[in-house]
Structure 1
Amino acid sequence: MAKSKRFFTYLFLGIIAFVSIFPFAWMVISATNQSVDVTKGRLLPGSHLLENFRNLLETTDLQQSLLNSAKISITTTILALLIASLAGYGFEVFRSRTKDIVFNILLVSMMIPFAAMMVPLYRMFASISNTVPWLGIDTMASVILPTVTTAFLIFFFRQSTKMFPKELLEAGRIDGLSELGIFLRIYLPTMRTTYAAGAIITFMSSWNNYLWPLIVLQTPETKTMPLLISNLGSGYAPDYGMILIAIVIGTLPTALVFFLMQKQFVAGMTGSVK
C-alpha cells in the first residue's frame, strides 16, 4: 500500500515537472532551428544556433538592450530594497495608530491596477520633460521611479520584521547606537534572507517589465529586452529562431539570479531570520 502510494506520488510529481520544464526545453531546442522548423513543431536540436545568434546581432542592438535592462533592474532593486526595508522597519518597530492607518492605506493601493495610473503618470513625466530632461519621457528615471518600491514589498518587510528579535534592538540602544546605526549594523545583516527574497522578486519584476517601458521609452537607444523581443515578433514575417534565441538570452539573467539565491529566497519567504 505504501509503495503504490509512493509510486503515484512520484508519478504525479514527474508529470508536474515535465509540464513545467517542457516549455523551457522547447524554447532552447527551437533556438537552434530555423524559423520554418519551429513552425513545423520540430522537437530535435538543429544546427542553426550560431546563425540565429548572428542574425540577432545584425538585426538588433542586443548589447544596448541588455545594458538598459541591467541598469534599470539593478538600480530599481537596490533602491526598492533600501526604501521598502526602511519603511517596513519603521512601521513595525515604531508602531502607532497613525502609522497603522497609513499602512492600511498602502495596502489598499495594491488593489489599484497599474493601467489606471498610466495616464496620470505619463502626463506627470511629460510635464517635467522640458524643465528636468533627465526625469522626463524616454529616460531610465521615468521607468525606475514609478516602480522603485511597492506596497507589497513594504508589507513583505514589515511582516518579516515581526520575526526580528526585539532584544537585539534593545541591546543596540543600550550600547549607544542610533536608530540608523541599529538598522545598518544589526537589522540589515540579520535580515539578509529577507533582502535576498526581496531582491529576487524585485529584479525579476523589473527585468520583465513591459507595459510601462513600452509607453515611456520611445527611442531605440533606450529599449529594454522585453521591448526588443516584442519588436522582433511584430514583423510581417518574424524569424522564430532568432526570436527564441533572444528569449533565451533575456531569460538567462533572471534564471541565474534565482538559482544562485534560491536557498535564501526560500528562507526569506518562510520568514526565517538568521
Structure 2
Amino acid sequence: MTSAADRAVAQAKAPANPWRPVRRAIVYVLLSVAAFVSVFPFYWMIVGATNTSADIIKGKTSVGSALVTNAMTFFTQVDAVRVFWNSGVIAVVATVLTLAISSLAGYGFEMFRSRTRERLFAFLLLLLSIPFAAMMVPLFVMFSQAKLVNTFTAVILPTVASIFIIFYFRQTTKAFPTELRDAARIDGLKEWQIFLFVYLPVMRSTYAAATIIVFMANWNNYLWPLVVLQTAENKTITLILSGLTAAYTPDYGLILFGTVLATLPTLIIFFLLQRRFVEGMLGAVK
C-alpha cells in the first residue's frame, strides 16, 4: 500500500489542469459582475443625493453640486429629528424585546424536551407560510378594540415573537456545549441564571447576527406602520420617504438625500457588529 507521502508526491508530479485558469477567470468575472450589481444602487443613491432632480432623470452618474440644496430642502420639508426619533424608538425597543423573547423561546425549545415540543415547533414553522398581509385585518381590528391604533405599541407588538428568530436561536443553540449547562447546575445555578450568565456570553455572536437582522427589519418596516400609524407626528422615516415619492413632481435629489440618511443607522449597526455577524451566521460558539 502506498503511503500518504507517496500519494502527495504523485499528485505533485501530475500535469496541471489546463482548464483551471479558465475556470478561475470565469469565477472572478461572475463575482465582479455580482459585486457591481450589488454596489451600483448604493453608489447611485449617494451620487443622486448630490444632483438635481433633472440630472437624476437624465441618468447622470457623476457627483453634482446640489447636495447643500437637497439637504436644506429636506430639513425644511421634513421634521427630521422627530421622524428619526420615531424610527429609532420603534427599531430599538422592538429589537430588544424580540431578542429577549425569541432567544428564550429558542433556548427552551432546544434545552427542554417533551412529547409535544416538536409538534409545537413544526406548527410555528407552518405559520411562516402565512403572508403578513393576510393577518393585517384581524391585527388592526384587535389593536383598534384595544385602543392602540396610532401608537408605537401597535407597531412593536406583532414583531416581538419572531418565528424566524426563534428558529435561528434554536438551531444555533444546538452548538451550545451541554457540559457548561451541566457544570452550572452542579454549581447550584438556576435555569434563569444559566441563561443570563452562561448562555448569553457564549452565544454573543448569535445575538450580534440576530441584532442586525431584527434591527434592519424593524427600521425598514413599511406595510404595517403605514396601516396603523395615522398621524404625521408618529410617522417613521420609511413612511415619510414614501410620501415624498407620491408627489405630483417628486424631487428625486431630495428623496435620495433622505434615503442616504435613512440608510446610515443600519450601516452603523452592521459595521459595528459585522465580525460577530459572520460568526453568528456560521454558527460559531465561543
Q: TM-score range by the shorter chain?
A: over 0.9
Structure 2 residue matching 1:86: 3-state secondary structure: helix
Measure, in 2, the Cα distance between the counterparts of 1:148 and 1:33: 40
1:245 maps to 2:257: yes
Structure 2: 5+ residue stretches without partners = 1-17
Residue 85 (structure 1) aligned to one of 103, 125, 128: 103
Residue 256 (structure 1) aligns with: 268
1:28 maps to 2:46: yes
Residue 132 (structure 1) aligns with: none
Residue 115 (structure 1) aligned to one of 117, 127, 133: 133
Residue 163 (structure 1) aligned to one of 175, 195, 198: 175
Structure 2 residue matching 1:261: 3-state secondary structure: helix
Measure, in 2, the Cα distance between the counterparts of 1:117 and 1:8: 46
Measure, in 2, the Cα distance between the counterparts of 1:60 and 1:197: 32
1:6 shift after superposition: 2.9
Q: CA RMSD in A?
A: 1.0
Measure, in 2, the Cα distance between the counterparts of 1:113 and 1:12: 34
Residue 43 (structure 1) aligns with: 61
1:222 maps to 2:239: no
* Cα deviation 1:10-48 (Å, max 9, x = unaligned): 222111111111111011001100111111111111111
* Cα deviation 1:48-94 (Å, max 9, x = unaligned): 10110110000111111111111000101111001011111111111
Residue 153 (structure 2) aligned to one of 141, 146, 149: 141
* Cα deviation 1:73-123 (Å, max 9, x = unaligned): 010111100101111111111111122222111111111110110000000
Q: TM-score, normalised by structure 2?
A: 0.92
Are 2:102 and 2:160, in contact at CA under 8 Å, matched by a contact in 1? no
Measure, in 1, the Cα distance between the counterparts of 2:284 and 2:92: 25
1:106 maps to 2:160: no
* Correspondence list, 1:164-243, <5 A: 164-243=176-255
AA of the residue aligned to 1:89: Y
AA of the residue aligned to 1:88: G
Point out the structure with max Rg over C-alpha: 2
Structure 1: 5+ residue stretches without partners = 130-135
Measure, in 1, the Cα distance between the counterparts of 2:78 and 2:153: 23
Q: TM-score, normalised by structure 1?
A: 0.96
* Cα deviation 1:108-150 (Å, max 9, x = unaligned): 1111110110000000111111xxxxxx011000000001121
Q: Which range is displaced more, 7-16 or 230-239? A: 7-16
Measure, in 2, the Cα distance between the counterparts of 1:256 and 1:109: 32
Fraction of identical pairs, as percent: 53
Measure, in 2, the Cα distance between the counterparts of 1:88 and 1:186: 15
1:55 maps to 2:67: no
Runs of 4+ deviating beyond 4 Å: none
Measure, in 2, the Cα distance between the counterparts of 1:6 and 1:92: 42
Measure, in 1, the Cα distance between the counterparts of 2:120 and 2:22: 54
Measure, in 2, the Cα distance between the counterparts of 1:149 and 1:265: 21
Measure, in 1, the Cα distance between the counterparts of 2:34 and 2:116: 47
